[in-house]
Amino acid sequence: MMHFNVRAAAVAAALVSISSLAQAQTVKLALIDPQSGLMAPVGINQLNSWRYIADLANQKNWAGGPKFEIVGFDNKLSPQESLNALKQAIDQGIRYILQGNGSSVALALQDAVQKHNERNPGKEIIFLNYAAVDPDMTNSKCTYWHFRLDANADMKMEALTTYLAKDKNIKNVYLLNQNYSFGQAVAKAAKEYLARKRPDIKIVGEDLHPLAQLKDFAPYVAKMKAAGTDTVITGNWGSDLALLIKAAKDAGLNANFYTYYAATTGVPTAMGAAGEDKVKYVGYWNANNEKFVGGDVVEGYQKKYKDDYYTMATYTGIAMLAKAFKETKSTDPVKVAAALEGMKVQSLNGEVEMRKTDHQALQPLYIAKWVKVNGKDVKYDQEKTGYGWKTEALLPTYIATQPTSCVMQRPK
Amino acid sequence: MEFFVISLLNGVSYGLLLFMLSSGLTLIFSMMGVLNFAHASFYMLGAYFAYSLGLQVGFFPALLLAPVLVGLVGALVERYGLRTVHKYGHVPELLFTFGLAYLIEESVKVVWGLPAVPFRVPAFLDGSLFTLYSTSFPKLRGFMMLVALLMLLAVYLLLTRTRIGLVIQASLSHPQTVEALGHNVPRVFMLVFGGGCALAGLAGVIGGVAFITEPSMAASVGPIVFVVAVVGGMGSLAGAFLASILIGVLQTFAIALNWSLAGLFGTLGIAVSEQTPLYSVWKLQLSEVAPVLPYVLLVLMLIFRPKGLLGTRAD
């Protein structure tokens, strides 16, 4: 009898160790983003970007053992659908959540992840936010399990206005943004920072419009024109930016566009030649950077998916997770979260630090301008338009770094 | 003044596009009583067909061919889909077109992919038609207005001045009599459905090139088409025309005006500040609620004048 028990225990122990070994080998990451609807082209591009970088990490064994697998969940850009997707992911035993499109969605997920982790000790999940940039998420609403890989809206505005302030021809600025937490944050930061850096600049108009619903931006352009606008600052993304620039071109609005997301899917095609020299974007990376760092990724991605790689946060994200797995010799989110705090990795834009106080990534920022491809400093075009992004300025990390009001509640 | 004229032109041209988009829906509804949920999908098909054809034969032949192709697809849908569902009544028809809309959207995604296709304006239409004060009015918008007006004229003449038009009108009110006179009424219905879809296709060519050609373009115009049809009066072509222009101009000017209730109270001498209860409601500007206005109009119209501006049905 005794003999039998020992044997059974040994078998059970062997089984357990096999299953834990299998778990350690593949780590699933749930990507909760739109894969249908108006913003689907952006969401699909980013799903592919995560997959591409995960494959790269697996081939080169970044994590020293564990492999990455990306599982896509379609949230239709809705916070409600996202919570369902989160539940599904949790039911499948996934402990890492990736999301980026829409701060409205990110805020809902951040809150749900926090609650889940409080109620289910031992089953914690980590939320890697790679593109939702509402500043609140790393300030008043900061949580321990949320890590932001992108620069937040305030940081980008800091960089953008620092650059913009040098252009003395800019006198009349118009702010057009999407009417939700992110768009409002952009408008607010633009007003504050411009007042600080260039008090002589006049805000000649300010509008908020609904997210992903408008087709005809001509009325807004007429309003800009009537207000004597020479520069437009906008946080619009997806079709909201593409159509705005198209309408501005048609009405002959001779203004500069300072954007956050002109390099995202759909916008380059809509701009074409019309955006030349006029459209600029601020972001954490540009494919046409001084040494073309990441060029191999751009080319490999183009070959595999016939699309442009621009969501560089995917690289930073996988690099950070891999480093944490390696350092802790574990894929347990509790240990990984602790390792991510204050972590520094070498990404495609240089050193990126995950600030410990608020889980906001600190990194250099780029300002780039839409110009014809010339094979020299502008090698890669976008969406086969023959136009690409020329690096106008590389702003070192300290310029955009913002203080935080976050009081982090760490689990005991 | 410049602002007023340009906004008016913008409003009218947008309204005319809306009219192209919804006239087919109104026609089909008045003739066949079918509320076609897939109408906006035919609009999208028009854009994609014209894009693909344009690569082969150029923009102008595509402008003519794409609507014809869409019309053919529509006719086939009527012949082999709707006609069989028809005998079960209007609700199954409605559900049929509802499902069809999803099918078309998914097919478009499979065939043309998820990102927007580079449907470019032909060189001939690129540039400005005229310059008012300092704002240029794009040729494409002028072309959009011209096509819409020609279309209105053609449909009007077809329905009132030709034999087939008279047969169509007669089949609407007295199908049995028309059938007894030896006309093939089901074929007339097929023609009407195909024709209505072709009109949507034509709007799609213009809309696709003027705005953006991507798989969700149907979903984004779907609701507004119904607003036009309801406000104009179900089944009234003239009503749809009026409603389209009205909605186009209303939306354009609403965006232009920074009026808010807080401002109104201000002029009445009531101070409204951030401490006032419900401040977020009072400070809402007209320009912020502009996109919702057509739906406000829809609801008000249904409450106060359910038959629409020029509708003939009294229910």
Q: Is residue B2 predicted with pLDDT exceeding 50?
A: yes
The long-range contacts involving A111-117, CB below 8 angstroms and separated by at least 24 positions, are: A111/A143, A112/A83, A112/A86, A113/A86, A113/A143, A113/A145, A113/A146, A114/A143, A114/A144, A114/A145, A114/A146, A116/A86, A116/A90, A117/A145, A117/A411
- Cα dihedral across residues A31, A300, A372, A377: positive or negative: positive
| Chain B residues whose beta carbon lies within 8 Å of the beta carbon of residue A217 | none
Q: Do A307 and B115 touch (CB under 8 A)?
A: yes
Contact B83, B180 (CB under 8 A): no
Chain B: closest CA distance from residue A213 (Å): 7
Buried b (16+ CB within 10 A) or exposed e, B54-65: beeeebeebbeb
Q: What is the pLDDT of residues A64-111, one digit of tens each?
A: 999 999 999 999 889 999 999 999 999 999 999 999 998 999 999 999
Q: In what order do the strands lie in the sheet with A96-99?
A: A67-74, A26-33, A96-99, A126-129, A146-148
| Per-residue pLDDT, B279 | 77
Mark out the alpha helices in chain B (DSSP H runs).
Answer: 2-32, 39-57, 59-77, 83-86, 90-112, 139-161, 163-173, 175-180, 185-210, 217-232, 237-256, 261-267, 279-282, 286-289, 293-304
Q: Is some CB atom of chain A closer than 8 A to the CB atom of B276? A: no
Tokens of B85: 């569902």
Give the residue from A285, A264, A290 showing the smallest Cα distance to A352.
A285
| Per-residue pLDDT, A2 | 47
Spatial separation of the C-alpha atoms in residues B153 and B156, rounded to whole Å: 5
Q: Do A270 and B212 touch (CB under 8 A)?
A: yes
Residue of B nearest to A211 (CA): B291
Q: Do B256 and A219 touch (CB under 8 A)?
A: yes
| Chain B residues whose beta carbon lies within 8 Å of the beta carbon of residue A266 | 115-116, 212, 214
| Chain A residues whose beta carbon lies within 8 Å of the beta carbon of residue B141 | 218, 250
CATH class of domain segment(s) A2-151+295-362: alpha beta
Residue of A nearest to B216 (CA): A38
Q: Flag whether B278 is in a domain.
A: no
User: What residues does CATH 3.40.50.2300 cover in chain A?
Assistant: 2-151+295-362, 154-283+365-400
Q: What is the pLDDT of residues A52-68, one digit of tens each?
A: 999 999 999 999 999 99
Q: Measured between CB atoms, which of B140, B219, B252 is closest to A250?
A: B140
Cα dihedral A39/A382/B207/B214 (nearest 10): -40
Spatial separation of the C-alpha atoms in residues B272 and B84, rounded to whole Å: 61
What DSSP string runs through B69-120? Answer: HHHHHHHHHIIIIIHHHHTT-HHHHHHHHHHHHHHHHHHHHHHH-SSPB--P
Chain A: closest CA distance from residue B175 (Å): 40
Range 27-56 of B in CB contact (< 8 A) with A: none
Name the strand (E) or helix (H) holding A333.
Answer: helix A333-340
Q: Do B255 and A219 touch (CB under 8 A)?
A: yes
Residues of A within an 8 Å Cβ radius of B: 37-38, 40-41, 44-45, 179, 207-210, 213-216, 218-220, 222-223, 225-226, 239, 242-243, 246, 250-252, 265-266, 269-270, 272, 307, 383-385
**Residue scoring higher pLDDT (B273 or A34):** A34
Q: Is residue A15 predicted with pLDDT exceeding 60?
A: no
DSSP strand E in A64-134: where? Answer: 67-74, 96-99, 126-129
Mean pLDDT value of segment B261-279: 78
| Per-residue pLDDT, B172 | 73
Size of interface A-B (CB pairs under 8 A): 109
Mean pLDDT value of segment B1-22: 90
Structure confidence at residue B314 as a pLDDT band (50, 70, 90): very low
3-class DSSP assignment, residue A293: coil
Q: Measured between CB atoms, which of B14, B115, B291 is closest to A210?
A: B291
| Chain B residues whose beta carbon lies within 8 Å of the beta carbon of residue A219 | 7, 10-11, 251-253, 255-256, 290
Mean pLDDT value of segment A212-223: 85
Q: Is residue A378 predicted with pLDDT exceeding 50?
A: yes
**Residue span of the structural domain in which B78 resides:** 2-218
Q: Do B120 and A40 touch (CB under 8 A)?
A: no
**Residue scoring higher pLDDT (B274 or B48):** B48
Q: Flag whether B113 is in a domain.
A: yes
- The 3-state secondary structure of B158-183 reads HHHHCHHHHHHHHHHHCHHHHHHCCC
Cα dihedral B106/B110/B116/B119 (nearest 10): -110
| Per-residue pLDDT, B257 | 79
Tokens of B84: 């069989």
Q: Is residue A11 predicted with pLDDT exceeding 80?
A: no
Q: Flag whether B300 is in a domain.
A: no
| Chain A residues whose beta carbon lies within 8 Å of the beta carbon of residue B286 | none
| Chain A residues whose beta carbon lies within 8 Å of the beta carbon of residue B117 | 269
Spatial separation of the C-alpha atoms in residues B38 and B222, rounded to whole Å: 8
Q: What is the pLDDT of residues B148-169, one digit of tens each?
A: 999 999 998 998 899 988 888 8
Q: What is the pLDDT of residues B237-267, one digit of tens each?
A: 889 999 999 999 998 898 887 787 777 887 8
Mean pLDDT value of segment B225-243: 89
Mean pLDDT value of segment A312-327: 97
What is residue A137's DSSP assignment?
G
| Per-residue pLDDT, A12 | 56
Q: Which of A246-255, A264-273, A319-328 shows the highest mean pLDDT? A: A319-328
Q: Measured between CB atoms, which of A44, A210, A269 is closest to B118?
A: A269
Judging by beta carbons within 10 Å of its beta carbon (0-12, 13-18, 19+), is residue A164 exposed, middle or buried?
buried
Q: What is the pLDDT of residues B18-49, one digit of tens each?
A: 999 999 998 888 878 888 999 999 999 999 99
| Chain B residues whose beta carbon lies within 8 Å of the beta carbon of residue A208 | 288
Q: Measured between CB atoms, which of B3, B114, B291 is closest to A222?
A: B3
Tell me how long chain A is: 412
Tell me the β-bridge partners of A351.
A346
Spatial separation of the C-alpha atoms in residues A393 and A163, rounded to whole Å: 8
| Per-residue pLDDT, A7 | 60
CATH no. for A154-283+365-400: 3.40.50.2300
Can you tell me which residue has the tokens 């191999």? A296
Q: Do B3 and A223 touch (CB under 8 A)?
A: yes
Q: Is residue B313 predicted with pLDDT exceeding 70?
A: no
Q: Is the pTM here over 0.90, yes or no?
A: no
Structure confidence at residue B113 as a pLDDT band (50, 70, 90): confident
Give how many domains chain B has, as a whole number: 1
Spatial separation of the C-alpha atoms in residues A235 and A104, rounded to whole Å: 15
Q: Flag whether B203 is in a domain.
A: yes
Q: Do A220 and B7 touch (CB under 8 A)?
A: no
Structure confidence at residue B185 as a pLDDT band (50, 70, 90): confident
Q: Please state, rounded to an integer, the average pLDDT across all residues of chain B.
A: 88
Q: Measured between CB atoms, which of A222, A384, A385 is closest to B10?
A: A222
Q: Measured between CB atoms, which of A209, A243, A270 is closest to B291?
A: A209
Q: Is some CB atom of chain A closer than 8 A to the CB atom of B11? A: yes
Complex ipTM above 0.90? no
Mutate to test the interface with A, among B1, B117, B212, B292 (most CBs of A within 10 A): B212
| Chain B residues whose beta carbon lies within 8 Å of the beta carbon of residue A243 | 211-212
Mean pLDDT value of segment B273-295: 80
Spatial separation of the C-alpha atoms in residues B189 and B79, rounded to whole Å: 9
Q: Do B219 and A38 touch (CB under 8 A)?
A: yes
| Per-residue pLDDT, B263 | 78
Q: Flag whether B251 is in a domain.
A: no
Q: What is the pLDDT of residues B296-312, one digit of tens each?
A: 999 999 999 988 888 76
Spatial separation of the C-alpha atoms in residues A312 and A50, rounded to whole Å: 9
Cα distance from N-terminal residue to C-terminal residue, chain B: 43
Q: Do B10 and A270 touch (CB under 8 A)?
A: no
Q: What is the pLDDT of residues A158-204, one digit of tens each?
A: 999 999 999 999 999 999 999 888 999 999 999 999 999 999 999 99
Q: Please state, rounded to an integer, the average pLDDT across all residues of chain A.
A: 91
Q: Do B140 and A219 touch (CB under 8 A)?
A: no
